[in-house]
Amino acid sequence: METGQTAGRRLRRLLFASDRSAASRAALLEVAGLAAGGGTEVVVLHVDDRGRPEEGERLAGEIAGGLIALSVNARPEVRRARPGRVADEIASAASEHAADLVVLGSRGRSDLGGLLLGSVSHEVLERVRCPVLLVRAGRRATGRRRRILLAVAGDEDLGDLVRTTAAVAERDARVVVLHLVAPGDGDLRRAMSERLVEGVVARLRRCGVRSGGRVRASVRGTADEIARTALGYGADLVVMGSRRLPARAALLRRSVSHGVVHATEVPVLIGAPGDGAWTQEDEEEGRR
């Protein structure tokens, strides 16, 4: 499952935060698909917060060994943390290893559920500066990335999001760039949305990725509309930007990325936080 040799970012090092959960087992398939062939180093990280380092070493070793059998360049690592500080250790490891991507399983809790019960994936998103791939247990994780839905809002770092999408896309992948408008938006707003999508599509094509665009009205709410579009397109993966809001802020502002993880049937890759600037280069791409 090769990724394309494009002008996008190359995945040199991937951090796979693993445990014994069903979600982590589902994420393993995605890791294998991204790193097969040995071009990407995978650090299989287990954070022990229960005082059982031997068990963690055995688990990380087994996972790394399974990946090696699939032609993945993998190595295990175990770190210790106090209860409730697992996300801190994952973030520290991502920084120390200069990870290009963090992959972890997610229970897919809503913002309210994550706030009340605690969610490692929510906390990791708050703390890391690189893209994060979240995979839910029991959902349609196949390890393939032939059909990708890239949902853009316009206030994220679009250049970085394009490079990330190109890095994870398979050689024969097709990306659909989606931007949602409100039902009452007029012609001017729709024209601006179309220009935004055209600029992102042009950038993807420059990276060697087949792509097209869609602008549609958001009738059911942004997160539900993205999930519905992903289902209709038969997407293997949803990619989107995020402001990486803390849990309480995400609850108050109805974080779209958290809502998509909760609603969609496929893994969700959330891009690195950025300044969200719509640059002159983006503007020129949309006009070409």
Domains, in order of start, for the chain? 13-136 (3.40.50.620), 147-287 (3.40.50.620)
Comparing 254 with 189, the larger pLDDT belongs to 189
- The whole-number pLDDT of residue 251 equals 39
Q: Is the pLDDT of residue 234 over 80?
A: yes
Q: Is the pLDDT of residue 1 over 50?
A: no
pLDDT in tens, 8-27: 568 999 999 998 888 888 89
- The whole-number pLDDT of residue 279 equals 47
Q: At what angle do helices 280-287 and 187-206 cross, to 10 degrees?
A: 90
Spell out a b/e string for 180-209, using b for 16 or more CB atoms within 10 Å of the CB, else e: bbeeeeeeeeeebbbbbbbbbbbbbeebeb
Query: Which residue is it, tokens 């949309």?
Result: 286
Q: Are 271 and 156 in contact (CB under 8 A)?
A: yes
- The whole-number pLDDT of residue 287 equals 45
From the list 125, 182, 173, the residue with the least C-alpha distance to 150 is 173
- The whole-number pLDDT of residue 252 equals 37
Q: Is the pLDDT of residue 83 over 60?
A: yes
pLDDT in tens, 126-162: 899 999 999 987 656 667 899 999 999 888 889 999 9
**Mean pLDDT over each residue of the chain, to the nearest integer:** 84
Q: Are 107 and 137 in contact (CB under 8 A)?
A: yes
